[in-house]
Structure formats: C-alpha cells, structure tokens
C-alpha cells in the first residue's frame, strides 16, 4: 500500500493526481498499480481517511501520519482488506 486519499470522484482524482508519477516510480518489474475505494459520505470521508492514514502510515502520505485531530474513531473494514488492519480505534492526538 502506497497511499490513502479521499475524493468525491475517484476516477478523476486518480487520473489527475499530482503524485501519480511518484507512485509509478515505486513499482518494480511486473508490478501493477491498483486502486481500491469505499463509498463514505459527507464529513466522514475526511475523518476515515485520516484514521486510515494514521493507523497504516502509507509511505506516500504526509498529512495525518503523525497526528489524528479528530475525536476517537473506531473503524471496521470489510471486503478486500489484505493490506489493512480491519478493526481498530484511533485516539485523538491533539
């Protein structure tokens, strides 16, 4: 896992992402860049993004890696979660 982000339109966000070339440079021979998404509505999208980043610390993320500014948040993930912790709570750090 390289990066976690949020968007209202996943296709447009990935196609125009300013770090796309950086992600591709991380690939080795025979690797393919894959994307996954989860539908989350409204204000919860940013909070969920922050919780996932804080917990998993993907190497291409900078924001939320060392702090979680939201109230304590419990996450329960399902589906294709091979590279993710599926049940965890993130505590507010600041």
Q: Confidence band (pLDDT; 50, 70, 90) for 39?
A: confident
pLDDT of residue 94: 81
pLDDT of residue 72: 97
> Is position 5 within any domain?
no
pLDDT of residue 38: 86
- Total domains present in the chain: 1
In order of 31, 70, 81, the CA distances from 73 in angstroms are: 34, 8, 18
pLDDT of residue 53: 96
pLDDT cut 90: percent of the chain above it: 54
> Is position 1 within any domain?
no
Is the pTM higher than 0.95? no
Residues 53 and 63: beta-carbon distance below 8 Å: yes
State the residue range of the domain holding 26: 10-90
- Sign of the CA dihedral with 1 first, then 92, 74, and 41 last: negative
Q: Confidence band (pLDDT; 50, 70, 90) for 41?
A: confident
Q: Confidence band (pLDDT; 50, 70, 90) for 66?
A: very high
> Is position 68 within any domain?
yes
> Is position 43 within any domain?
yes
């Amino acid at each position: 896992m390289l990066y976690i982000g949020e968007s209202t339109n996943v296709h447009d966000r990935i196609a125009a992402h300013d770090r796309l070339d950086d992600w591709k440079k991380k690939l080795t021979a025979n690797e393919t860049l894959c994307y996954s998404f989860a539908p989350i509505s409204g204000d919860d999208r940013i909070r969920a993004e922050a919780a996932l980043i804080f917990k998993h610390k993907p190497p291409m993320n900078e924001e939320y890696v060392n702090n979680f500014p939201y109230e304590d948040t419990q996450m329960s993930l399902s589906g294709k979660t091979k590279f993710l912790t599926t049940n965890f709570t993130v505590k507010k750090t600041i």
